[in-house]
Chains A and B, each alone.
Chain A
Amino acid sequence: MPEQRVVTPEFLFTEAAREELFITGSEAVREAVRRGNVDMAISYPITPQSESMHLVGDIYAEGYVKDYYRGENEFAVMSSVAGAAMGGVRVFTATGGPGTMRALEMFPTWVGARLPIVCAFFTRGINSPLTIQPDTIEMAHMLDTGMIMLHAEDAQDLYDMILKAFIIAEQTEVHIPVGVFADGFFVTHTRDRVRVASPDLKLPPYKPYSAPVPVIDMENVPFRQMRDPFVMKSNYVSYAAHASWQQEVLAAAERARPFIRKYLGGLIEVENEHADILVLAGGTAVCQGREAIAMAREEGIEAGLIKIKSVRPFPSDELRALTANAKAVIVPEFNRVGWLSREVRNVVQNPDCVVPGPRVFGGMTMPPDLILAEIRRYARD
């Protein structure tokens, strides 16, 4: 293992020279964690995530991560990373699909406890009969946990978003967990060109006492008895305390917006934004959307593309402005419920312009022609 040098996040993210690797999404996770100055990682196998945490284990063995083990199940893993974060270290884990669902009870408690955990979610179907295929339905279940949710389009995004997630999560005024979501298999198991900083650079270490809540180490105040503590009481003071904390946690996610803008260049990315037909997507559906608008252009139809990078906080203002004159906002998705189109309908001025589809699920890929067919339909109208 080379001696690593701590550099500022800004240097690592923008100024540092990058070399291009041809790697899988899982390998991009390893490269991000290698440069992330991660203290501890805890793993549990589930397809299509497993390989990423094998690779994190490999760099633990090389000395890049200080502690690493396989936990007993996802609920336990998410509990253990919570304990580690409360003890004041930088932690990373990853899961997906049924693993996400198994651990679901933990996610809102990460947020409530203000833990800056970074967790990668490699999405897959949740169904009976059992499926291991790509599907983003678990994101629907995660929308109201309070976590920040970033959605990577490809391995490059995954590398960048994981590293940036630590810095966004650890801002004192934010200090809540970040989930970095990527579509299982499509991103994890395919090779792509990824530009990465030198492996002898790493992020500054996490500063435990920058947390807005006490670190559980008996080295910082307060530790004292609380007379008549309000937790679990049935009285107005208790309700008000809980209610204000829940609002504060929501506000913490709101306060992440400027940091997401600073480090990710915005909550969305837009191409050809003045077109009145827009394709709006997150994850790998963005790629098919991009192909579809290129195909449309060859036919003389102008369409634009909105890539959703941050699902929570949701880019409501950005979308309201961008879709003000839209004739159609086509939302292709890799799940059967269409959670993203619901989100978009909730914020645009004219919900009727939102086209909730096309949707594929069960493991299918998204033919760009499906999106093109929608573009053509609205171009005719």
Chain B
Amino acid sequence: MTKPMLKMTAAFADVMPAEYVELVQSGPFGKGYGVADLGSFKELIEEHPLCAGCGLALAVRLIMASLPSPEDTVVVGSTGCSSLAFPQIALQNIHSLFGNQNAVATGLKRALTLRFPDKHKDVLVVAGDGATADIGLDMVLHSWFRGEKLATIMLDNEAYANTGGQESGMSPEGCVLNMAPTGKKFKKIALPEIARESGCAYVASVTPVQPRKLEKAVRRAILVAREVGPTYVQIFVPCPTNYKFKPQETLVKAKQKEKDQTYPLREFITPEAQSYLAAIEGGGKRD
């Protein structure tokens, strides 16, 4: 934001909603906070309507705390569980339709590039596995083929969670889910590898078990998308409701999959992105 927009008319301070007052007084805009600062500032998301123990909700919270420049970040989401959380996030964000997020983001990014040629406006896509790897796959891939400077994040709960736990292309092979009554018949889609081959300059798959690692992947994805090209981060976000485990076991499940490598963690970086990251991360500074 170019103007000091987040301020209050003093006379209205006592009638403004509490969360807005907090956002003005101790929000993250222009402060350079990160995951390590959680608890000391007003987060972009405070409440959310998602299930207890939802891995996706945790990931969204961590993503929002990882943005290099929240004051100049806009988000394009998609239909799914995360779309219930986005109205509660203090960033301008778009929900258009199920699956068209990378096409919407393409138009948005290009428009902002035309309007703000001297500024980085980070356009972040955050969508489910169904939205990203199934119904919207053509638009995801084409945004990568075209080299659109977008950071695409998949919240991978390995199912269509919002519609009641159906199989998605990202569900593990053999898994019994709705619409896969005898078990899924094909392998989990290898989207990180596909992303690497489709023009992404930076690709990572992570879990919320290691928040600092997740933060690093998200920041790298956003920074590389500014200067080099499209990026992709896939986050494993266990869903207690549809995979039928206790809410308090979410991180245990994620940890287990990390450990036995049934959810392989990846990081692919092109040489160009590597040298860009080396230059900006060299001093150990955050930006």
Give the interface of A toward B (CB within 8 A). Answer: 39-40, 42, 66-67, 69, 71-73, 75-77, 79-89, 91, 105-106, 109, 113, 208, 214-221, 223-227, 229, 231-232
- B73, chain A: closest CB distance, angstroms: 7
Query: When the two chains form their complex, are residues A214 and B92 in contact, meaning their CB atoms are under 8 A apart?
Result: yes
Interface with A: B97-105, B163-171, B178-186, which one? Answer: B97-105
How many of B's residues come within 8 Å of A, CB to CB?
Answer: 49
Contact partner, A75, options B3, B100, B107, B108, Cβ 8 Å: B100
Asked whether A83 lies within 8 Å of B106 as measured between CB atoms, the reply is: yes
CA distance A138 to B3 in the complex (A): 46
Supposing A83-B94, A224-B19 touch, asked if A217 and B115 sit within 8 A by C-beta, the answer is yes
Given A66-B114, A72-B138, A219-B5, A81 and B92 contact (CB-CB distance below 8 Å): no
A72-B138, A87-B112, A227-B47 given; A217·B107 CB < 8 A: no
Contacts of B6 in A (CB 8 A): 223
Which residues of chain B are near A81, meaning CB under 8 Å?
107
Task: Please report B residues at the A interface, Cβ cutoff 8 Å.
Answer: 1-3, 5-6, 17, 19-20, 23, 44-47, 71-74, 76, 83-84, 87-94, 96-97, 100, 103-112, 114-116, 121, 138-139, 142, 146
Query: Within the assembled complex, what's the spacing in Å between the Cα atoms of A76 and B139?
Result: 7
Judge whether A221 and B5 touch: CB under 8 Å. Answer: yes
CB neighbours of A229 from chain B (8 A): 87-88
Among B45, B96, B114, B121, chain A packs the most CB atoms within 10 A around the CB of B96
CB pair A227 B88 closer than 8 Å: yes
Contact of A218 among B1, B46, B97, B105 (CB under 8 A): B1
Residue of A nearest to B95 (CB): A231
Set of chain A residues within 8 Å of B138, measured between Cβ atoms: 72-73, 76
Residues from chain A with Cβ under 8 Å of B1 in the complex: 218-219
Q: Name B88's closest neighbour in chain A (CB-CB).
A: A225
Whether A218 pairs with B87 at a CB distance below 8 angstroms is no
- With beta carbons under 8 angstroms apart, the residue of B5, B88, B91, B104 that contacts A79 is B104
Residues on B with beta carbons closer than 8 Å to the beta carbon of A227: 17, 19, 47, 88
Nearest-neighbor residue (CB-CB) of A75 within chain B: B100
| Distance to closest chain B CB from A57 (angstroms) | 15
Task: Check B45–A79 contact: CB distance below 8 A.
Answer: no
B5 contacts across to A, CB distance below 8 A? 219-221
Expressed in whole angstroms, the Cα–Cα distance for A79 and B1 within the complex equals 25
- Bound together, the chains give a CA A125 to CA B99 distance in angstroms of 28
Contact A223 B115 (CB under 8 A): no
How far does the alpha carbon of A89 sit from the alpha carbon of B73 in the complex, in Å?
18
- The reply to whether A40 and B73 contact each other, CB–CB distance below 8 Å, is no
The 4 closest A-B pairs by CB, nearest first: A87-B111, A83-B107, A84-B107, A229-B87
